[in-house]
Amino acid sequence: MKLALIGQSLFGQEVYTNLRKQGHKVVGVFTVPDKDGKADPLAVVAEKDGTPVFKFPRWRVKGKPIPEVVEAYKAVGAELNVMPFCSQFVPMNVIGFPKHGSIIYHPSVLPRHRGASAINWTLIEGDKKAGFSIFWADDGLDTGPILLQKECPVEPNDTVDTLYNRFLFPEGIKAMVEAVQLIADGKAPKIHQSEEGASYEGIQKKSNAKVNMAQPAEVIHNWIRGHDKVPGAWVQKLLFWISSMLSGSVPAGQPIEVEGASHPGLIAKSGLILFGSDGKALQVKNLQFEDRKMISASKYFSSDEAASLDLTDDEKKMAEEIRAIWKGILSNVPVIDDTTDFFKSGAASMDVVRLVEEVKQKCGGVQLQNEDVYMATTFQSFIQMFVRRLRGEDQEEELVIDYVTKDVNNMTVKMPYQCFINGNFEDAEDGKTYNTVNPTDGSVICKVSYASVMDVDRAVSAAKEAFDNGPWGKMNPRDRGRLLYRLADLMEEHQEELATIETIDSGAVYTLALKTHVGMSIQTFRYFAGWCDKIQGSTIPINQARPNRNLTFTKKEPLGVCAIVIPWNYPLMMLAWKSAACLAAGNTLVLKPAQVTPLTALKFAELTVKAGIPKGVINIVPGSGGLVGQRMSDHPDIRKLGFTGSTPIGKQIMKSCAVSNLKKVSLELGGKSPLIIFSDCDTDKAVRMGMSSVYFNKGENCIAAGRLFVEESIHDEYIRRVVEEIKMMKIGDPLDRSTDHGPQNHKAHLDKLVEYCELGVKEGATLVYGGRQVDRQGFFMEPTVFTDVEDHMFIAKEESFGPVMVVSKFKDGDVDGVLSRANNTEFGLASGVFTRDINKAMYVSERLEAGTVFVNTYNKTDVAAPFGGFKQSGFGKDLGEEALHEYLRTKAVTVEY
């Protein structure tokens, strides 16, 4: 179809380009005259293609069409006028001239907000939905019949820019092309515009844009964001820019009187806090003065930031290069001097983008944003801002951490101890703390913030804001992966410090903490960082809806705010197993470390800031499971909860998650993992790996072999060799590199293990070795061996979660019998088999009811292999590609064309 495009701007340019791609012929482009020697983007692209371009300053004079303009238009012979963002008044003898008439794009769901400032009024009026209309032009003001409409929700902190960039621009371009195709196919409707719900609001003037502070906070917020860009909402000769509703508690700040407000505002670190008549608060990011200078609202009371800097020779050279860039953009200005104002010299929004990108190209390594230009509008102020940025003087305020420091393990470790919420370390809301204890000697390491329900709510609010409106949710997946790689690198740089903290807080032997607790955590983040840009949906062949055709595809989307609750046996590694997959999928998180081992999680939080993870993406709230964990289960804004811990608590969590908002759940719970050792095994390996299956990490291991089944003919020899090996194990200070066996995690757990062993003796099992607390300071338990364990005994059924080897015999050759005994449990986390017979190994591995089966090895987990249990050991997977799907949802999309 032959088209005439009447419009302007990048939007017009994109519509033009896409229509040509669809095979339509654009016979003429009618756009606005050049401004300050620069052509409109639509004219630029059309001229490159050789399309006839007309730049009429107007189509009418005193309401009457200009004959020569109309004749020039008619000469192109268009069959349809397409009018994307047309700002000129076009006469009806042009509108109605083509065979198919004219269609116009309008950024509102007509008939609401007819007129030129529809996006602004959508926000000012507090509409819950926005959208656009493509309609057939008539002689009214946006009153013609509707051809096509699309809608989108208005988010609480949407601005004109976010609405435009997220929906109105990209979807509007597609819809214009779709509308033209509908007309070409003879399928375009003409739906009469009802006058019901019709509204018209004129273009706002500055005199009408003053903020009425005697209104609810949300109304004030809508007024400010609706006036962003033009003309700007104001009070006391100050224009307010970038408003958002305040979530969480009101921050501390310096009071400031605000005209018409019943409550003074606050200048806080985050901006200007304003209060509505309903007592609720909103936040304004930037302020602009009458001279157009813009500042961060948080710096309203600061000393003059524009104090002149003495430039080095290299900086002066860069300044002259930037002056040349300004001159190239402001070609109408004879000389660029220090007082030249970018906007007063005629620059527009596209020029801002060009300036930022040219400066970044010329002066690599300096990060600039469009907003920086609005805040430094004169050449001198821009250079001052640029040099400060170059020197690193204009960075965000450094994270303030009130460390606890300890000289230990030949180093000084620095440990955060407060809640980590929205990128800051801060005390619990009610100021409560608790002691975290070193299990090696029972001493208090430090006091840690004891989070309350209010702290959980603040953390969830921060995570939701970061997901909905922050840079994380909009970030390119590859950039997200880059941040996770950087985080892994920082963890590696701090691995000795992390391992030391892990050792003193959890009792892990330092060498194991370094290799596994920390080492596997680093591997996990690197593995999932690589997945960020490889999360894909698929196309699905479906039955076509003839005569139309269909395309059906799936998209994998993040869930939103996720909660993670981790145990005390591997504090950092369990954090990594869950949070790396959660973050790679694009979610934000609120994490509760185990109450007795919070310190590596809080150190990790510090490293996330250094890695550049945006505020609010990761929040860590130490405290009790009954309080913090329960609130997470109940919270309506959390969409997924991942938990590792006991089966009874897992059941309670699952119930709470179902009742609250049916949030998604994954559970890694208790185990009683069987290990079957056949007489034809490699005995040396079976002894070594069998001991590791029980005593690894002092038995505080979710997949520990809870019960060994040893074939009768080798049973006694096997036990003799195990006891010999135990006697050679060194029990002691976990920071000593030669130590084999460290303290149990905490006193209550040690007491439980002693009781477990006492009960085993009472039931008639044979205590071959150990069974007692070690006679030394700290929470040390002897490595223990029980034999003659019968299937009905408590220690045969229940997990010890400690260094207790529980051994039962089985008759030689009774493969099916031992399998039946091994599977006679409600748990199914892991299992193992030792045999040289590959047929027997495969037979047993196929029949063991467990999420992981080890053959001739044990504890061999890898970041690429999925990990999770069957039966009452839970469901869902950590690690591997499958873990990503725990933190994603699948959306099916069907398009008819």
Binding residues: 142, 566-568, 592-595, 625-630, 645-646, 752, 799-801
No. of helices (H) and no. of strands (E), the chain: 29, 40
> How many whole angstroms separate alpha carbon 343 and alpha carbon 65?
34
Sign of CA dihedral 393, 399, 402, 404: negative
CB 582 within 8 A of CB 639: no
DSSP 392-414: TTTSPPPPP---EEEEETTEEEE
Q: Strand order of the sheet with strand 2-6?
A: 53-54, 25-30, 2-6, 80-83, 102-106, 129-136, 146-153
Residue 362 phi/psi, 5-degree rounding, is: -75, -35
**Helix/strand/coil (H/E/C) assignment for every residue in 4-69:** EEECCHHHHHHHHHHHHHCCCEEEEEECCCCECCECCHHHHHHHHHCCCEECCCCCEECCEECHHH
Choose, from 606, 668, 700, 711, the residue flagged as catalytic. Answer: 668
Binding site listing for NADP(+): 566-568, 592-595, 625-630, 645-646, 752, 799-801
**Residue 532 annotated to the active site:** no
Sign of CA dihedral 230, 231, 234, 237: positive
Rg, Å, the chain Cα set: 34
Choose, from 532, 582, 702, 757, the residue flagged as catalytic. Answer: 702
Residue 770 phi/psi, 5-degree rounding, is: 80, -140
CB 237 within 8 A of CB 258: no
Pairing between β-strand 673-677 and β-strand 830-834 as defined by DSSP bridges? parallel
What ranges make up the beta strands (E) of 661-774?
664-668, 673-677, 705-711, 766-769
CB 418 within 8 A of CB 399: no
**Residue 419 annotated to the active site:** no
DSSP 8-state secondary structure symbol assigned to residue 307: P
**Structure tokens given for 658:** 């179902």
Choose, from 100, 106, 221, 746, the residue flagged as catalytic. Answer: 106
Kindly give the residue spans of alpha helices, DSSP state H, lying in 55-168: 67-74, 92-95, 118-124, 160-163
> How many whole angstroms separate alpha carbon 625 and alpha carbon 370?
45
> How many whole angstroms separate alpha carbon 876 and alpha carbon 867?
8
> How many whole angstroms separate alpha carbon 297 and alpha carbon 275?
15
CA 536 to chain centre: 18
Binding site listing for (6R)-10-formyltetrahydrofolate: 142
By C-alpha distance, which of 161, 103, 154, 104 is closest to 129? 154
> How many whole angstroms separate alpha carbon 425 and alpha carbon 398?
12
Q: At 472, which amino acid appears?
A: W
DSSP 8-state secondary structure symbol assigned to residue 311: P
Residue 710 CB-density burial (10 A; 0-12 exposed, 13-18 middle, 19+ buried): buried
DSSP 536-581: ---EE-----TTS-EEEEEEEEE-SEEEEE--SSSHHHHHHHHHHH
DSSP 8-state secondary structure symbol assigned to residue 686: H
**Residue 702 annotated to the active site:** yes
DSSP 8-state secondary structure symbol assigned to residue 345: T
By C-alpha distance, which of 464, 406, 744 is closest to 588? 464
> How many whole angstroms separate alpha carbon 781 and alpha carbon 800?
12
DSSP 8-state secondary structure symbol assigned to residue 680: T
> How many whole angstroms separate alpha carbon 631 and alpha carbon 648?
17
Contacts of 731 (CB under 8 A, 6+ apart): 739, 740, 741, 742, 774, 780, 782, 783
Positions annotated as catalytic residues are 106, 668, 702
